[in-house]
């Protein structure tokens, strides 16, 4: 069973929660960006192009969904009056800018209080309504598993393998082939695979809007090796491969923990599953509410023996060793250690039910995913 999200951008509204320290004057101008059906990086590229302000002078707190209506803050370093006017004049139907004020600090990724969501969930049947009536109280009292959501897995959504696994083997050709041909359109995928190596022909049939990917193929056409061409990709794209695989590993550990130690329901998620506890006692919650799960556990050791056990099993199954964790490819480390909270509690959770639709409102901490919370509330897959 599945519920539906984002049938229109207006079905999914997101607004950053940030307490800006405003002044009449300051080194940085703070702007509120309202956008519709546009991702954050595309909006920034357009603002930079139309205003002449280099991208490196922009700061932002987080990436926001494309198929949504969103409000987020931007900082611009030392803008002239003329640059500010050009930025404000860059507003259009799907993107509006408003000057909020000035301050002394740039806006940096993750440095905000959270995100406010108002989401319309459609296709809610009798079974989902019954589950929702129980799970909403469970979530209010005990929270939700802090899985990474589908936005983290854009590079593998239609892929057969993680790009990082090819990079581990040093097979740059396989890594680039996986990335450039993993498309939803299977017919186009087959066409691209047939034309692999004939770069002029490959360029003619590949998607027109993929600028970094086209630059990569042009580099191959000029005679660069696969390894050299990999480095043509912007660093944020190369890091995306790393984040996708590490997010998969982390999700796998939390999934194994929930399945092994808690009563649960399971829900389809991309090529895998997510597991959510569907019953909880105050005693057990007291034991696990502050649980943190390391990404690797080589430097950040698990503080919980059950987590240590499932983490060891997942890493062994995937063949991830301390030696592997030190690998670098294309100027980036393939693995980083750290830790992440296993559970989060949404703030101000409220809802309105109308027929087969439920409108949800809540606040999530930075790094937590609304689509994950919706899956838990209905114990159902999400179609977007």
Residues with a known catalytic role: 65
52 by Cβ neighbours in 10 Å (0-12 / 13-18 / 19+) ranks as exposed
What span, in angstroms and rounded, lies between the C-alpha atoms of 57 and 76?
6
Q: Does residue 250 contact residue 340 with C-beta atoms inside 8 Å?
A: yes
Half-sphere exposure of 168 (CA within 13 A, CB side): 18
Q: Does residue 275 contact residue 266 with C-beta atoms inside 8 Å?
A: yes
Contacts of 276 by beta carbon, 8 Å cutoff, 6+ apart:
144, 145, 258, 264, 265, 266, 267, 375, 376, 379
Structural element, H or E, at residue 17: strand 12-17
Q: Does residue 345 contact residue 145 with C-beta atoms inside 8 Å?
A: no
Residue in 88, 106, 86 with CA at minimum distance from that of residue 98:
88
Q: Does residue 376 contact residue 280 with C-beta atoms inside 8 Å?
A: no
What span, in angstroms and rounded, lies between the C-alpha atoms of 43 and 336?
29
State the helix-helix crossing angle for 40-51 and 81-89, rounded to 10 degrees: 130
In the 8-state DSSP scheme, what is residue 122?
B
């Amino acid at each position: 069973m599945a519920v539906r999200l984002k049938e229109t951008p207006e079905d999914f509204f997101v607004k950053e929660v940030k307490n800006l320290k405003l002044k009449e004057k300051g080194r940085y101008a703070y702007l509120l960006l309202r956008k519709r059906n546009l991702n954050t990086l595309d909006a920034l590229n357009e603002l930079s192009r139309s205003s002449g302000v280099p991208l490196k002078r922009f700061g932002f707190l987080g990436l926001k969904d494309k198929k949504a209506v969103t409000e987020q803050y931007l900082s611009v370093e030392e803008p002239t009056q003329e640059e500010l006017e050009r930025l404000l004049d860059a507003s259009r139907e799907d993107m509006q800018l408003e000057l909020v004020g000035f301050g002394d600090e740039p806006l940096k990724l993750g440095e905000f209080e959270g995100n406010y969501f108002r989401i319309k969930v459609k296709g809610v049947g009798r079974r989902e309504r019954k589950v929702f009536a129980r799970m909403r109280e469970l979530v209010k009292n005990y929270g939700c598993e802090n899985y990474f959501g589908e936005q983290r897995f854009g590079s593998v959504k239609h892929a057969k393998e993680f790009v990082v696994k090819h990079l581990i083997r040093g097979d740059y050709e396989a890594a680039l082939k996986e990335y450039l041909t993993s498309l939803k359109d299977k017919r186009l995928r087959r066409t691209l695979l047939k034309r692999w190596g004939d770069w002029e022909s490959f360029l003619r049939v590949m998607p027109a809007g993929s600028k970094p990917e086209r630059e990569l193929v042009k580099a191959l056409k000029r005679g660069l090796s696969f390894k050299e061409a990999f480095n043509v990709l912007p660093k944020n794209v190369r890091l995306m491969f790393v984040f996708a695989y590490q997010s998969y590993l982390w999700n796998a550990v939390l999934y194994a923990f929930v399945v092994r130690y808690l009563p649960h329901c399971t829900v389809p998620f991309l090529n895998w599953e997510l597991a959510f506890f569907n019953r909880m006692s105050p005693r057990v919650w007291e034991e696990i509410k502050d649980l943190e799960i390391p990404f690797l556990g080589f430097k950040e050791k698990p503080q919980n023996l059950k987590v240590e056990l499932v983490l060891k099993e997942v890493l062994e199954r995937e063949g991830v060793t301390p030696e592997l964790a030190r690998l670098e490819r294309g100027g980036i480390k393939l693995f980083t250690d750290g830790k992440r909270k296993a559970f989060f509690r949404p703030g101000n959770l409220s809802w309105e039910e109308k027929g087969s639709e439920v409108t949800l409102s809540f606040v999530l901490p930075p790094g937590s995913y609304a689509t994950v919370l919706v899956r838990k509330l209905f114990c159902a897959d999400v179609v977007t």
